[in-house]
């Protein structure tokens, strides 16, 4: 009896030791996976050179573009396109690694072109790291729109018709998250945040998730009489509110066409689920819709970066499409940047040791 109990106790202790070692091994593996995932400096130095400096200073010029297109297919195909004049800003930015913070002012006022029309509010933040990125968007438009590209209405409307329109107001909020698969050889920061250098051509598949809300007030009664006379009933809406949830998958490519010179092109189509409420003209019942559409995210950039000094230009554009049988809405935003700057304060590991 004593022998049997002693053997059982030893066997139980042995199982406990094995169990503990397996548990510790799993925990260790999990920690290593998380550590590797969060290591943004894990890249192939034959393709990507790390940033040797701690800080950067940059002068930046932004030009923001946007458009909205409202249409209807019944009883006849009609479409109205609205867009404001491009909005220019100039800013000075201070960078730490892959984060740039700064302040921009309205350049139209500096050029003496500022009008009395109400400008909107814009906030567009993009964070580029080696493995994943984040876009945060907020836009609230003003009343500086013009009507362009009028199709399907009266023949009396000239081909190049253009007219001021203050009956459109839009508010949008959005969040976009994405992951870069070939992050050891392909660098988004090299093209868009100047924090690394791409040394060889490389591409990568990119997958992401986006969510945004759109609120559009459309006062069609402020349209010119010549448009209202033949306007489809389906276009007579007062307010459109829809939520956009999408999964996107695309490809990006960095082309090193000369020493320290890089061109990048990235396109991400997105399958988007939209749920919306459309408030029609007074006396008519509101409509609720749920459907799928295709959206797009485009990024392009050209940059010269010799590690110390950099100069370049980039464009980031997004489109959102909404279609129903008797009503459609397309809107897009784009930001063009032209920038120049320099890096300073070498990191410790890149400083030459004094003899």
User: Does the structure show a pLDDT above 60 at 18?
Assistant: no
Q: How confident is the model at residue 87 (pLDDT cuts 50, 70, 90)?
A: confident
Going 198 to 200 to 203 to 207, the CA torsion angle's sign is negative
Among 261-270, 291-300, 322-331, which range has the highest average pLDDT?
261-270
The mean per-residue pLDDT over the stretch 143-169 comes to 83
Q: Please give the structure tokens belonging to residue 140.
A: 């609230």
How far apart CA 78 and CA 157 sit, in angstroms, is 13
Write down the pLDDT at residue 278. Answer: 67
Write down the pLDDT at residue 102. Answer: 73
Q: Which of 287, 293, 275 is nearest to 236 (CA)?
A: 287
Among 2-11, 42-51, 166-175, 202-211, which range has the highest average pLDDT?
202-211
Residue with tokens 């002068």: 59
Helix (H, G, I), strand (E, B) or coil at 15: helix
Question: When comparing pLDDT for 202 and 132, which is higher?
Answer: 202
How far apart CA 154 and CA 225 sit, in angstroms, is 11
Torsion of CA 37, 318, 204, 34, to 10 degrees: 10
Q: Please give the structure tokens belonging to residue 194.
A: 């100047």
Write down the pLDDT at residue 267. Answer: 93
Q: How confident is the model at residue 257 (pLDDT cuts 50, 70, 90)?
A: very high
Distances (CA, A) of 143 to 85, 99, 119, 167, 219: 11, 33, 7, 7, 12
Express each pLDDT in 198-209 by its tens digit. Answer: 999 999 999 999
| Lowest model confidence (mean pLDDT) among 68-72, 74-78, 210-214, 306-310 | 74-78
Question: What DSSP string runs through 81-117?
Answer: EEEEPPEEEEEEEEEETTEEEEEEEEHHHHTT---SS
Q: How confident is the model at residue 86 (pLDDT cuts 50, 70, 90)?
A: confident
User: Does the structure show a pLDDT above 90 at 280?
Assistant: no
Within a 13 Å sphere around the CA of 250, how many CA atoms are in the beta-carbon half? 21
Q: How confident is the model at residue 298 (pLDDT cuts 50, 70, 90)?
A: very high
Among 68-82, 232-246, 333-347, which range has the highest average pLDDT?
333-347
Q: How confident is the model at residue 9 (pLDDT cuts 50, 70, 90)?
A: very low
Are 134 and 127 in contact by the 8 Å Cβ rule? The answer is yes
Q: What is the pTM of this model?
A: 0.79
């Amino acid at each position: 009896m004593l022998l049997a109990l002693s053997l059982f106790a030893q066997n139980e202790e042995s199982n406990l030791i094995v169990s503990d070692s397996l548990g510790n091994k799993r925990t260790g593996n999990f920690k290593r996976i998380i550590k590797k995932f969060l290591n943004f400096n894990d890249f192939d130095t034959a393709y990507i050179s790390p940033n040797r400096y701690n800080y950067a200073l940059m002068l930046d010029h932004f030009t923001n573009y946007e458009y909205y297109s409202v249409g209807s297919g019944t009883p006849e195909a009609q479409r109205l396109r609205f867009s404001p004049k491009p909005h220019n800003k100039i800013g000075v930015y201070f960078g730490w690694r892959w984060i740039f913070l700064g302040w921009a002012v309205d350049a139209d006022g500096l050029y003496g072109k500022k009008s009395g029309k109400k400008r909107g509010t814009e906030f567009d933040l993009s964070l580029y790291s080696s493995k994943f990125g984040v876009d945060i968007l907020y836009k609230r438009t003003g009343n500086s729109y013009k009507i362009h590209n009028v199709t399907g209405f009266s023949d009396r409307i000239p081909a190049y018709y253009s007219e001021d329109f203050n009956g459109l107001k839009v508010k949008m909020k959005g969040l976009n998250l994405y992951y870069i698969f070939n992050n050891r050889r392909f660098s988004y920061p090299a093209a868009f945040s100047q924090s690394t250098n791409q040394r060889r051509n490389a591409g990568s598949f990119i997958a992401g998730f986006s969510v945004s809300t759109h609120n559009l007030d459309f006062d069609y009664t402020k349209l010119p009489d010549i448009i209202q006379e033949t306007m489809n009933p389906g276009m007579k809406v007062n307010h459109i509110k829809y939520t956009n949830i999408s999964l996107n998958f695309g490809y990006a490519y960095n082309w090193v066409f000369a020493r320290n010179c890089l061109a990048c092109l990235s396109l991400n189509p997105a399958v988007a689920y939209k749920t919306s409420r459309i408030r029609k003209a007074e006396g008519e019942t509101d409509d609720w819709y749920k459907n799928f559409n295709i959206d797009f995210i485009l990024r392009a950039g050209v940059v010269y970066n010799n590690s110390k000094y950099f100069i370049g230009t980039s464009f980031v554009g997004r489109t959102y499409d909404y279609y129903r049988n008797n009503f459609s809405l397309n809107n897009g935003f784009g930001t063009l940047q032209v920038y120049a700057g320099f890096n300073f304060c070498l990191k410790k590991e890149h400083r030459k040791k004094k003899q």
